[in-house]
A = this chain, B = another copy of it.
Amino acid sequence: MTETADTALVLDEGRTERDVTERRFTVDRPAEPVPGILWTPEGATGPRPLVLFGHGGTQGKRAVNILALARRMVRHHGFAAAAIDQPFHGDRRPDDERTMSVEERRERLGRRMFGRDRAAVVDQAVGDWTAVLDALQGLDDVGTAGPVGYWGLSMGSHFGVPFVAGEPRIAAAVLGLFGWSPTRGQEGLDDLARHVTVPVLFLVQWDDEIVARDSALQLFDLLGSADKTLHAHPGRHVEVPRDENDAAEAHFARHLSPGPTPAQGT
């Protein structure tokens, strides 16, 4: 175990698979420690771009789509990548939810995300991300010199829009499967959305049964970014085509890689 001097970050020794080292960590926070995973190139030293991954509702830090894209950012681009268990998820799941069905958990999650505690839950989640980013940038093989990306769909955008809006270290984001719904207590979201000004790739599922299509299109419309791209596909909430990982990888590679953008082939 490694404990850094000036943050409450604890890392395990990790394991390496196909040139990618995966280390579990925890970051101390007033309410409870935040567990996470850091992926880096094997034997990496020195600063590098970092992509943060915020999972969706009922998922956790090692969701299959996160694992696949995180490894690609490390293996193909030499970036660091990190995911955490967001509030009430993964290792932070309340005891009484461990025996619940996904449907029961979704119903409780909806009340938490859009009920009277909404602001407190968002504050907790955004504070977690800020603390985790502070801690990870204290590591030699992450550092503060590289730009930071944020990827989060659905609940990962519920927390990600306010996080990206207020965090100047974020230089690019992948968001989506989420919308603006004033009837669900999101009156402040339009202001937050306008404060998202980094390049954004925004995903919409055309037949989303959880997020109303118009609310997602409206959130895209409200984003303050001059460089924003909407990708929409037919299908339900969880049916994002796997090809979109290619687009996300290209988005982060283009906006976070050091050096000039390569010229486009003709």
Taking Cβ atoms with an 8 Å cutoff, the residues of A that contact B are: 68, 71-72, 76, 204, 206, 217, 220-221, 226-234, 241-243, 245-246, 264-266
Contacts and interface: CB of A to CB of B under 8 A. Distances in A.
Contacts of A231: 229-231
Nearest to A217: B217
Nearest to A264: B242
A234 B243 contact: no
Contacts of A229: 231-233, 241
B221 A243 contact: no
A49 to B, nearest CB: 19
Copies of this chain, how many? 2
A232 B225 CA distance: 13
7 contacts: A206-B221, A206-B230, A228-B233, A228-B234, A230-B230, A230-B233, A242-B264
Contacts of A72: 265-266
A68 B265 CA distance: 9
A41 to B, nearest CB: 16
A68 B234 contact: no
Contacts of A233: 228-230
Contact of A264 (B226, B228, B234, B246): B246
Nearest to A265: B72
Contacts of A71: 266
A217 B68 CA distance: 31
Contacts of A228: 233-234
B242 A234 contact: no
